[in-house]
Copies of this chain bind each other. A is one copy, B any other.
Amino acid sequence: MGQFRVLIDANDEKGLVYKISTIFYEYGLNILSNNEFVDKINGKFFMRSVVEGDIDANNLKKSLTNLLPISSNIDVIKPAKKNIVIMATKEMHALGDILIRHEAGELDANVLGVISNYSELESLVNKFDIPFMTISHVDLNRDEHEEKILDYLSTLKDIDYIVLAKYMRILTPKFVEAYKDKIINIHHSFLPAFIGANPYKQAYERGVKIIGATAHFVNNNLDEGPIISQEVIHVDHAYSWRDMQQSGRNVEKIVLSHALKLALEDRIFVYANKSVIF
């Protein structure tokens, strides 16, 4: 008896649920949980089921593929540790939160390595027996620097997600394309407010009463990829932008770790620059 996550997105049409549940029934599957969403405007159907049964995942996928419209995306996933790489710069909080969760067994992931353009975080990462790679950007142009990172990444097998845990450099379209829908970033503002550099300074200047953080997939436009998770905290006039930054870190790390957890549990569908989260 095994558990499987069945992920389906399809153009919406009458009978989809009927067809899918017929196959589940024929395979003798027990449905442990089931989430559906229909986007009526775009005519899209999304489903995530966790099923239990004595089956072969490939066979189930084949049966679903045969019955559903050809444009459908179908996945049958046996839960297993996913491989992640973390990229950071100098700040410790977001990286540290992931490392502690990993150590505590909270994350269903192998951390293949941590990459930074500085060496400040090396001693922290080494404590956890995780490879740390300093790839400095000094004296390199953006393409040359990324080439080195991509080279290193190519030595790692089967990367499921790259987590930008306060990696403070912008990635080129080439890099993003190479890991499409696999790069999760934490932006230190409540997007789309304060896109770009030093959002806490921007927030301070604007005199906002709430600050936040946004975890999102990275696409080619800065801070404009599909949002996965957001959270906020209240601030007041007594906060300097440094105070906002310090308080904001609590939000950043929680939001990023939450988004990573959603990804590791195969709970995120991406389409139309948005996310559907089950």
Contacts and interface: CB of A to CB of B under 8 A. Distances in A.
Given A34-B36, A190-B193, A227-B209, A96 B106 contact: no
Interface in A73-132: 91-93, 96-97, 99-101, 103-104, 106, 124, 127-128
A49 B211 CA distance: 26
A104 B96 contact: yes
Do most interface residues of chain A lie in helix, strand or loop, or is the interface mixed? mixed
A258 B246 CA distance: 12
Interface in A188-205: 190-194
A230 interface: yes
Given A21-B17, A22-B22, A208-B230, A277 B96 contact: no
Interface string A209-222: 11010000000000
A11 interface: no
B209 A226 contact: no
B229 A206 contact: no
A208 B227 contact: yes
A40 interface: yes
A40 B32 contact: yes
Given A31-B38, A192-B193, A273-B207, A104 B93 contact: yes
A30 interface: yes
Interface stretch (A63-71, A177-185, A231-239): A231-239
Nearest to A227: B207
Given A18-B25, A127-B128, A250-B254, 19 more contacts: A14-B28, A17-B21, A35-B36, A37-B237, A39-B237, A41-B240, A92-B104, A93-B104, A96-B100, A97-B100, A100-B100, A190-B190, A191-B206, A207-B226, A209-B227, A210-B212, A210-B232, A237-B275, A250-B257
16 contacts: A15-B25, A17-B17, A21-B21, A21-B22, A22-B22, A33-B238, A41-B240, A92-B103, A96-B104, A97-B100, A191-B193, A206-B273, A206-B274, A207-B272, A208-B230, A237-B276
